[in-house]
Amino acid sequence: MKNKIKIFLTIMALSTSLGIFNTLGQVIPRDTAVRIGKLSNGLTYYIRHNTIPKNQADFYIAQKVGSVLEEENQRGLAHFLEHMAFNGTKHFPGNMLITELEKKGIKFGANINAYTGYDETVYKLTNIPLNRPGILDTALIILHDWSGFILNNDKDIDEERGVIREEWRTRSSSYLRVQENQILPKLFEGTPYANRLPIGLMEVVNNFKPQELKNYYKKWYRPDLQGIVVVGDFDVDEVEAKLKHVFSDIPKPSNPTSRKYFTIPDNKQPIIAITSDPEIRNTSAVVYWKLDTVEASKKESQQYFKIMLINRIVSNMLNERFAEMARENKATNSLSAIMGNYSVSSRPAWNLNIDAPNNDLKTALRTGLQECERMRRFGFSKNEFEYSIKDFNLTHNESQYYDRKNRNTFEYSREYVGQFLNGDISPTPEWRYLMTRSILNELSVDTLNFYAKKYIQDRNMAFEILYPVKEGLLLPSKSDIIKIWEEVKQTRLKPWIKDEKSNDLTTLKIPARGKVIKTEKNIAPFGFTKWSLSNGIEVWFKKTGYDEPSVYIYGFKAGGYSTVVMDDLPSAMAYTNIASLSTFEGINGRAQVQSKLDKNFESITGNGTILHPKILFQNIYLKMTKFKNEQEAFGNWKHKQQERNQSRSVNPQTVYADTLVSIMSNHHPRALSLNNPKVLDKVDYERINRLHEEHFGNANGFTFIMSGNLNEDSVKVLAEIWLGGLPSTNKLGKILDHRIYPPQGIVKRHFNKKMETPQSSITIGYTGEIPYTAENSVLMSISSEILKMIFTETIREQEGGSYGVGVSGELMKHPTERFLFQVNFDTDPNPIKKKKLIDIVYRELKMIMDKGPDQEKVEKVKQNLLKDYRESISKKDAKYWNGYQGAILFYGVDWITGYDKIISSITPEMIRSFTKDIFNQGNLIEVVMDPETK
């Protein structure tokens, strides 16, 4: 009640002071907390102070330059230039930029990165620790160098060609191929978007002259097309002064080439792109209705804010219809709608996304178009409207406003980058909340339907259709697609009737209240209170004191599907998917709860709001005591899964993943997969229902962890009623060890698979036993990161052999303490080159076992882990406390107390000894997938 009064008083005060409800014709007031300026050379900047996370900042430079500006003989240069930004700049020659930042715990990839789009290129330094001397100045100088002082040395350019080739090879999925060759040329005929994929043409990448890249750089990287975004825990005046000083030496361009923005033309007749590829697994389609492009100046109006809000609500309402159709099995296809963009362009468009089961596109397309046509003719009902408005206000507007002080720096950074590139406006959270609330209060169903009916038109329509290559499967013609749309428009339709269901909460009877039989307070190390309930449940609760709208709860019990008999195992493995179909009415987004079964545990996860904690507890009670009859939805799910299984074999990467899983489990009879059609056939709804009763019908042995800004006595009462009232028996859960472990000894499996883009996929893995301790976890993390750095230097940079080498190490607690260490990468299938790269992996693994790593690399990784540690403990919200208390109860490990001391204590000799222990247990798995030879 106190929170409701607080929000009400705030609303009244702000409403009076701002006076924003008189007209929607006014300009959106900018958030004055962000300082926006422009230097004399044309460079724009955005600076904001934000303390989450503390002592950290994000630094971005956004360029209004992307692949769409390339000439035909430059295709790929925009993306290539992005790579060169990390290969030497004025103040950081060679790889000094990455090396110097890594010494400060700033990790390449995670904290140092960039991307190239069609219309923009964005570079970023994120989560930069400001407690390191001079780091703020260093970050600004890096942005300065990226703006106009990338060296582009000829030797570095030539060495980077191999990395780009391998990136192209890794990213050449079936969708990318049809997008490049079949979809974009049709959707964007006559515009540069038709053939300007950012990755470019390998013919250009392999053969362009270095001077061509330098000319492109000089032409387009200039301050009038650049925006700097700096957000973090600093003094804004100081940062602004530093920024002006650092960027003052960049001259204003004289007679610059005009940055052209390309218009996507209207079309009277539908544009239809019908495509196919041997590695496409399922038939799908996207239908676009292009809308008018909004000028940047109009995005500043409050009317634009209103229309964007209505667009979101309309999308939500139509998707709710699609969800209801899926629940009631009225459509076996998957449908979704969103107000987005026209494919890869920035032109706005209404998007209808369709997945067609059994490759029956005609039926799926007809169903989706029919619902869009129904919306165009009749709009939405008053009941749908009222439900959606209430849901949107509760789940989005109120929670976002209540959580406004907890916004992460990353959110602000992304927002201002978008503001610079797209002309969007960022109002204050208070204004956004009040305006949204005002619009929702005044909005009528007739006004909403006015806009909803405008989206679906005959003009500016386009179809993007993807088919697998399959024997006997005939692709439709363009006339077939047009005919379906014309028939839909002539179909006699009725208004949508919302299925009015009973409210599960109003019919829920209060159970016999349990009792707290023991209370333990302020339990070390985190100060939780533990209540032992009379039915065998333990509840751990901590009042956070953190000003946030959400509360989180997690419950678990030992057992999972390790305890089920073989005949029930397929159904147990499907349980989590089917349980997600079981939803309760009357929750209205105020609480979300999911029950799960995994290998070793059954669990309940839930989240709600501090305004409605009772609903969260009620939902948990319902979820554990009632398995709603969703047999039709189950049949729909199983049908879709069966179709996916039929097409898995055409995709090389799914075949590779399935092979790895099978080998890693040593082909154990209980290591089943729902991707196997024979296993899926045995999934039975009645068995799932029975398994729910067996695993969740007995609450004895469940442990619940809950955190939030709630009164402890109130939570205790709710726990006694809704958790203490759960049925229980004397049977406790336990994990059964079926010894589903990787094979012992050396196992090598090399196989061939037909693929459209030839590449070799390689995994080298080590397995064995190891104690599950905090120190071993740190040693595994540091060892993995050091080897990733080594393989980046050798395999990626020196050899140009792979776009990236993945290195991962994992410790497992249950059912026994073990580890899995893997190195994986994709590369050119050339046998000589492939063998050389595999030899490098084994050579470097032996080197670290024999001599240990360089001290410098150890320090770099340690600094990054310490940075991550400080960041993780800076926001002590409900998720934080639940996670770390859960780790103690689940794994028996405290990841907070003294964790930084463990990191700091690690030496190269400890790494050498640790890697020797894990790599010398004699268990090696090497799996290589090569393309079939013709």
pLDDT digits (tens, 9 = 90+) for 685-702: 999 999 999 999 999 999
% of the chain exceeding 90 in pLDDT: 80
Mean pLDDT score, 14-31: 58
Neighbours of 716 (CB within 10 A): 17
Q: What is the Cα–Cα distance from 396 to 394, expressed in whole angstroms?
A: 6
Contacts of 738 (CB under 8 A, 6+ apart): 562, 668, 670, 815
Contacts of 636 (CB under 8 A, 6+ apart): 326, 329, 332
pLDDT in tens, 886-903: 999 999 999 999 999 999
CB 769 within 8 A of CB 793: no
**Structure-model confidence comparison of residues 873 and 93, the more confident one:** 93
Q: DSSP class of residue 760?
A: E
Q: What is the Cα–Cα distance from 188 to 180, expressed in whole angstroms?
A: 11
Could you write out the DSSP letters of every residue in 256-303? Answer: PPP---------SSPEEEEEEETT--SEEEEEEEE-PPPPGGGGGBHH
| Amino acid identity at 630 | E
422: number of CA atoms within 13 Å, CB side? 17
Residue 589 confidence (pLDDT):
55
Mean pLDDT score, 575-590: 75
pLDDT in tens, 273-305: 999 999 998 899 999 999 999 988 889 899 999
Residue 343, classed as helix, strand or coil, is coil
Mean pLDDT score, 807-817: 97
Q: What is the Cα–Cα distance from 262 to 259, expressed in whole angstroms?
A: 10
Contacts of 742 (CB under 8 A, 6+ apart): 663, 664, 665, 666, 765, 767, 820, 923, 925
Residue 6 confidence (pLDDT):
46
Residue 330 confidence (pLDDT):
53
Residue 701, classed as helix, strand or coil, is coil
CB 535 within 8 A of CB 724: yes
Residue 502 confidence (pLDDT):
60
Mean pLDDT score, 606-616: 88
Pick from 358, 326, 319: which is nearest to 634 by CA? 326
pLDDT in tens, 346-395: 999 999 999 988 888 999 999 999 999 999 999 999 999 988 888 787 67
Mean pLDDT score, 473-496: 94
- pLDDT tier, 14 (very low <50, low <70, confident <90, very high otherwise): very low
Does the pTM of the predicted model rise above 0.85? yes
Neighbours of 688 (CB within 10 A): 21
Pick from 10, 5, 3, 8: which is nearest to 613 by CA? 3
Contacts of 623 (CB under 8 A, 6+ apart): 579, 582, 584, 593, 594, 595, 604, 696
Pick from 130, 92, 81, 129: which is nearest to 107 by CA? 129
pLDDT in tens, 134-172: 999 999 999 999 999 999 999 999 999 999 999 999 998
DSSP strands (E only) in 626-745: 703-708
% of the chain exceeding 70 in pLDDT: 95
pLDDT in tens, 404-459: 888 999 999 999 999 999 988 889 999 999 999 999 999 999 999 999 999 999 99
Q: What is the Cα–Cα distance from 299 to 305, expressed in whole angstroms?
A: 8
**Structure-model confidence comparison of residues 329 and 253, the more confident one:** 253
**Structure-model confidence comparison of residues 18 and 603, the more confident one:** 603
Mean pLDDT score, 584-596: 74
Residue 470 confidence (pLDDT):
86
CB 911 within 8 A of CB 853: yes
pLDDT in tens, 712-757: 999 999 999 999 999 999 888 999 999 999 999 999 999 999 999 9
CA distances to 7, 81, 202, 800, 877 from 549, rounded to whole Å, are 12, 44, 50, 49, 10
Helix (H) or strand (E) holding 58: strand 56-63
Position 1 pLDDT exceeds 60: no
CA distances to 8, 55, 307, 316 from 396, rounded to whole Å, are 17, 29, 17, 12
Q: What is the Cα–Cα distance from 920 to 923, expressed in whole angstroms?
A: 8
Residue 333 confidence (pLDDT):
62
